[in-house]
C-alpha cells in the first residue's frame, strides 16, 4: 500500500475483492461516501470527508481495526467471530453477505451425525471456530480432531483426499453440491457487519458514517406504500400499515384520505393484498434511495 494517507484522516476498510466487495461499494455510494479508486491502488481519498478508504482482505480487517491502524470498516460476522480475541466494536449488521458456516461431508459417506466426524480430518478457513465446535465433541468422545487451515477452495479438500469433512460457508449450496458435499450441521449464521475501533480518535467521522450507513440500510429494508381510502376504512387500513413511527394521512378534496407509510420490503406483497381486500385503492410502492431516521 502506498504511504500517502494524510496523518489526520479517518481510515475506512473495504474488503478488497470477493463476495462483499460489490455490495460494500454500493452501500458506500448509497450512503454518499464519494471516492475515486485508481486501478490496482489499495487506498483512495474521500472527496468530502477527511477520510481515506483502504482496500484490505476481508479476513484481515478485524486485526487492522483492533490494532488501531484503521478506524472503521466492513467484514463478515464469521470473520469477527473467528478472530474472537480481537477487541472491535460491533456497530451494525448490514443485511447483505448472508450465509452459513457449515460442517460438510461427502454425500457418498452418508454422515448423519457430526459425532461421526470427531477425531477425523477437517479442512477449513475457520480453524478457531472449527476447533471451538469440535473441542466439546472430542472431550465427550475421547478423540482428537485434526483441523487444517486452507485459505480458499475449501470444498476441494475431500475430493483431493486431504479431509474427511470441511467447514465452509454455504449460501445457495451450489459450490457444496458441485463438490459432492452435503451439510451435516450448521455452526454459525453470518452477514456483513460494520465494525469500529472503540478508541478511534475520529469519533465525529465514525458517528457520521454510522448515521449515513444506518440511513442507507434502513432505506433498503423499507419501501414507501401510498394509497387512497374512504373515511370508513381509514382505521382498518392504517392498522395494516402502522408505519415505522406512524402513517402520514392527508385529507383529499373528495372527502377521502391519502395515506403513506413505511413497510418492510419483505412484507410488501402481503400488505398490498390486505390493503386491496380492505378497500384501499391506487396503491403505489416507492423505492427509497436514502433515509435518516
Ligand atoms: N457465498 C457467499 N454468500 C454470501 N456471503 C459470503 C459468501 N461467501 C463469503 N461470504 C462473506 O464474504 C466474506 C469474504 O468471503 P470471500 O469468499 O469473498 O473471501 P475471499 O475472496 O477469500 O476474500 P479474502 O481474501 O479477503 O479472505 C466471508 O467471510 C463471508 O462473510
Ligand atoms: O453456497 P454458494 O452460493 O455456492 O457459496 C458458497 C461459496 O462461496 C464462498 O467461496 P467463494 O466463491 O467466494 O470463493 P473462495 O472459496 O475462494 O473463498 C464460500 O467459501 C463457498 O465456497
Q: Which of 172, 195, 151, 188 is nearest to 24 (CA)?
A: 195
Distance 225 CA to ligand 1 centre (A): 34
Domain ranges of the chain: 2-96+192-201, 99-190, 222-286
For a pocket test of ligand 2, which of 98, 100, 170 has the largest count of ligand atoms closer than 8 A to its C-beta?
170
Can you give the chain as a three-state secondary structure string?
Answer: CCCCCCCCCEEEEEECCCCCHHHHHHHHHHCCCCECCCCCCCEEEECCCCEEEEEECHHHHHHHHHCCCCCEEEEEHHHHHHCCCCCCEEEEECCCCCEEEEEEEEHHHCCCCHHHHCCCEEEECCHHHHHHHHHHHHHHHCCCCEEEECCCCHHHCCCCCCCCEEEEEECCCHHHHHCCEEEEEEEEEECEEEEECCCCCCHHHHHHHHHHHHHHHHHHHEEEEEEEECHHHHHHHHHHCCCCCCCEEEECCCCCEEEEEEEEHHHHHHHHHHHHHHCCEEEEEEECCCCCC
Architecture of domain 99-190 in this structure: 3-Layer(aba) Sandwich (3.40)
Q: Is 175 in the pocket of ligand 2 (CB under 6 A)?
A: yes
Task: Please list the ranges in the chain whose pLDDT falls under 50.
Answer: 1
Q: Is 140 exposed, middle or buried (0-12, 13-18, 19+ CB in 10 A)?
A: exposed
Q: Do domains 2-96+192-201 and 99-190 have the same CATH topology?
A: yes
Distance 21 CA to ligand 1 centre (A): 9
Residue that has been written with the C-alpha cell 394521512 in this structure: 249
Contact assessment for residue 193 and residue 63, using Cβ atoms and an 8 Å cutoff: no
- Nearest CA owner, ligand 2 atom 20: 169
- The pLDDT score that the predictor gives to residue 216 is 93
- The pLDDT score that the predictor gives to residue 143 is 98
The ipTM value here is: 0.94
- The pLDDT score that the predictor gives to residue 293 is 81
| Ligand minimally distant from the alpha carbon of residue 20 | 1
Write the pLDDT tens digit of every residue in 179-231. 999 999 999 999 999 999 999 999 999 999 999 999 999 899 999 999 999 99
Q: Is 101 in the pocket of ligand 2 (CB under 6 A)?
A: no
**Alpha-carbon gap, residue 125 to 131, rounded angstroms:** 12
Grid cell for residue 196: 469500529
Architecture of domain 222-286 in this structure: 2-Layer Sandwich (3.30)
Q: Is 78 in the pocket of ligand 2 (CB under 6 A)?
A: no
- The pLDDT score that the predictor gives to residue 156 is 98
Contact assessment for residue 266 and residue 191, using Cβ atoms and an 8 Å cutoff: no
CA angle 72, 130, 179 (to 5 degrees): 100
Predicted TM-score of the model (pTM)? 0.89
- The pLDDT score that the predictor gives to residue 4 is 82
Architecture of domain 2-96+192-201 in this structure: 3-Layer(aba) Sandwich (3.40)
- The pLDDT score that the predictor gives to residue 184 is 98
- The pLDDT score that the predictor gives to residue 3 is 54
Distance 55 CA to ligand 2 centre (A): 20
Distance 198 CA to ligand 2 centre (A): 31
Distance 147 CA to ligand 1 centre (A): 20
Amino acid at each position: 500500500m502506498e504511504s500517502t494517507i494524510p496523518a489526520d484522516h479517518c481510515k475506512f476498510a473495504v474488503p478488497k475483492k470477493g463476495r462483499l466487495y460489490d455490495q460494500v461499494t454500493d452501500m458506500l455510494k448509497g450512503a454518499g461516501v464519494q471516492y475515486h479508486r485508481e486501478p490496482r491502488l489499495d487506498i483512495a481519498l474521500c472527496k468530502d470527508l477527511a477520510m481515506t478508504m483502504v482496500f484490505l482482505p476481508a479476513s484481515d480487517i478485524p486485526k487492522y481495526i483492533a490494532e488501531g491502524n484503521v478506524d472503521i470498516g466492513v467484514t463478515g460476522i464469521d470473520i469477527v467471530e473467528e478472530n474472537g480475541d480481537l477487541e472491535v466494536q460491533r456497530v451494525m449488521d448490514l443485511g447483505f453477505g448472508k450465509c452459513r458456516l457449515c460442517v460438510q461431508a461427502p454425500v457418498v459417506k452418508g454422515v448423519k451425525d457430526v459425532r461421526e466426524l470427531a477425531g477425523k480430518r477437517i479442512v477449513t478457513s475457520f480453524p478457531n471456530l472449527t476447533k471451538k465446535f469440535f473441542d466439546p465433541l472430542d472431550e465427550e468422545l475421547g478423540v482428537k480432531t485434526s483441523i487444517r487451515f486452507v485459505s480458499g477452495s475449501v470444498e476441494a479438500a475431500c475430493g483431493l483426499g486431504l479431509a474427511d469433512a470441511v467447514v465452509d460457508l454455504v449460501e445457495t449450496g451450489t459450490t457444496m453440491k458441485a463438490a459432492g458435499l452435503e451439510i451435516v450441521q450448521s455452526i454459525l449464521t453470518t452477514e456483513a457487519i460494520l465494525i469500529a475501533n472503540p478508541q478511534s480518535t475520529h469519533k465525529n467521522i465514525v458517528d457520521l458514517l454510522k448515521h449515513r450507513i444506518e440511513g442507507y440500510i434502513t432505506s433498503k429494508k423499507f419501501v414507501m406504500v401510498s394509497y387512497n381510502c374512504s373515511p370508513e376504512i381509514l382505521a382498518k387500513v392504517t392498522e395494516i400499515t402502522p408505519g415505522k413511527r406512524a402513517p402520514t394521512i392527508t385529507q383529499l378534496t373528495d372527502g377521502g384520505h391519502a395515506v403513506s407509510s413505511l413497510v418492510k420490503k419483505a412484507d410488501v406483497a402481503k400488505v398490498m393484498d390486505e390493503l386491496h381486500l380492505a378497500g384501499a385503492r391506487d396503491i403505489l410502492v416507492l423505492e427509497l434511495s436514502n433515509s435518516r431516521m
